[in-house]
Amino acid sequence: MPDSPVSARRASPRTISLIVASAMFMEQLDGTVLATALPTMARSFHADPLHMNVALTSYLLTLAMFIPASGRIADRFGSRTVFRAAIGVFTLGSIACAQAPNLAFLVAARMLQGAGGAMMSPVGRLVMLRAVSKSDLVRAMAWLMIPATIGPIVGPPVGGFLVTYLSWHWIFYINVPIGIAGIILVTRFIEQTREPTRTEFDLRGLLLCGTSLASLLFGLEMATRGVGSPLVTGGIVGLGMLAATAYALHARQHPRPMLDFRLLRIKTFGFSVLCGSLSRIGVGAMPFLLPMMLQLGFGMSAAQSGTITFSTSIGSLLMRFVAPAFLRRLGFRTVLTWIGFVATLLLAATAAFRPSWPIGAIYVVLVLNGFFQSLQFMAYNTIAYADMPRERMSAATSFYTTFQQMTLTVGIALSAATLATSVRMTGHTTPHLLDFSAAFLFVSAISLLAPIIATRLDESAGVELSGHRDRPPAHFSRLRERPARKAG
């Protein structure tokens, strides 16, 4: 309910979507710029390039730890207050990243960024969900994703330019003006809303859930990097499993647990979480593998690789303008099966990239990959809330975003592990093109499970959102309209 209706200007759903998207633009820009800069930063820090994935996973790890609390914090302190504070923390974290003298400091600063990002994305999405009707949700999602898609488009070339001609420190300083503008826009246009809290804040659930996610993901990260003894890694993973078991017992007794797995009983939500997670493993690997492949395997500079990797986001941007028409024409099940299958094949096709390929062919594959992958995730992100009651929206956005970020982390970790394993098995001292191909094919095989499972989705799922209705064939319609002949 509105907390102070006169404190902000009344904004249209489109304006709110674009303000929320601006925050996502900053976050997406930061991630893609950083991915392009990792090989250069590795030389600056005197670190192994294969170990630089910790700069990406430490951020995603922090997201997974704190996102579960985002919805409850927004309900308690107000969505505008929390959204604005999250942008501020993310901006401060960006300044700290720019000052990093070594990899350890960078990881700590990225975790500060993650604390802000953990509130920024889910609370921003919650603001939008509360501002639009279900019939406008697909259109609002398309508007939401346009600026957020521009970040990955401009990120690689901007990052390559800054790293090649200036310094990698500037890839973080560019967040500062965007963050300041975001704080001003949120203050001016976003209304303060709260949902009444019926139970106490689940602090025990947050501690157990955070410990479990942090331990499991950190243990996976250690295993993929080959750091620490197997005993230590096993102990951390064991702690995560123990905390997960304790949380499962706790969640059964708490009326509103931090991560409410009972939400998975809502079929469209549970389906989106499962299939979306499988697909995101491949998508999570892409920002880590592709720039590394172009720079280490093709011998390109950061600037050169940036002019190629951004093409995936161009395809994603083009999709935003036609997504509502696709969903209205085809429906959710067709998009998530056939479009998902094509998107996975295009992801696997990147394993065949070689320096002998015409540059135009590489661009075509990446643009098409971005188009179909983005359409697939537009459908997942929308159908997740098709049958979700309004009073459960904050819990649902926290749950969904937690698993979204967690599987992106798993995608990076698994691709790094596959890459390192291939390097060891082939006896290479540095990754070769065949090693990158093995990593791309492995994550693509996992993502292929999503469109297979999608065949079980009901044809009528999400029709209120997409506007899709099954129509009888044209000849059948004409037969029904033709008047019956009189007997005799």
Q: What is the pLDDT of residue 149?
A: 60
Q: How distant, in Å, are the alpha carbons of 30, 33, 106, 195, 251 from that of 42?
A: 17, 15, 11, 46, 42
Q: At what angle do helices 13-45 and 267-292 cross, to 10 degrees?
A: 40
In the chain, domain spans: 13-194+256-468, 203-255
Please report, as a single letter, which amino acid is at residue 145: M
- What residues are paired with 2 via a beta bridge? 193
What's the rounded Cα separation, in Å, for the pair 375 and 69? Answer: 29
What is the pLDDT, as a whole number, of residue 32? 66
Query: Can you list the positions of beta strands (E) in 130-192?
Result: none
**Selection from 248, 285, 230, 271 nearest residue 417 by Cα:** 285
Residue 487 is predicted with a pLDDT of 41
Are the beta carbons of 14 and 143 closer than 8 angstroms?
A: yes
Q: What is the pLDDT of residue 475?
A: 39
Stated pTM of the model:
0.65
> What pLDDT is stored for residue 345 in this prediction?
92
The answer to whether 413 and 221 are in contact (CB under 8 A) is yes
d(CA 179, CA 186): 11
The full DSSP string for 247-263 is: HHHHHHH-SS-SS-GGG
Largest CA distance in the chain: 96
Give the pLDDT score at 227. Answer: 59
Tens digit of each residue's pLDDT, the chain (488 residues): 444 444 555 566 667 777 777 777 777 777 667 777 777 777 777 777 666 767 777 787 777 677 777 777 777 777 778 888 889 999 999 899 888 888 888 888 888 888 888 788 777 777 777 666 666 666 666 666 666 566 666 666 777 777 777 778 888 888 888 888 888 888 887 777 666 555 566 778 778 877 887 777 777 766 665 656 677 777 888 888 898 888 888 878 877 777 778 888 888 888 888 888 888 888 878 877 888 888 888 888 777 777 787 777 777 777 777 777 777 777 778 888 888 899 899 999 998 999 889 988 999 999 898 888 888 888 888 888 777 777 777 778 778 877 877 787 788 778 888 888 888 888 777 788 888 888 899 989 999 998 898 888 777 766 666 555 554 444 333 433 444 444 43
Q: Quote the pLDDT of residue 92.
A: 92
Contact status, residue 333 vs residue 454, Cβ threshold 8 Å: yes
Q: How far apart are CA 18 and CA 25, in angstroms?
A: 10
Which superfamily is assigned to 13-194+256-468 in CATH? MFS general substrate transporter like domains (1.20.1250.20)
DSSP-assigned states of every residue in 384-427: TTTT--GGGHHHHHHHHHHHHHHHHHHHHHHHHHHHHHHHHHHT
Do 339 and 372 form a contact (C-beta atoms < 8 A)?
Answer: yes
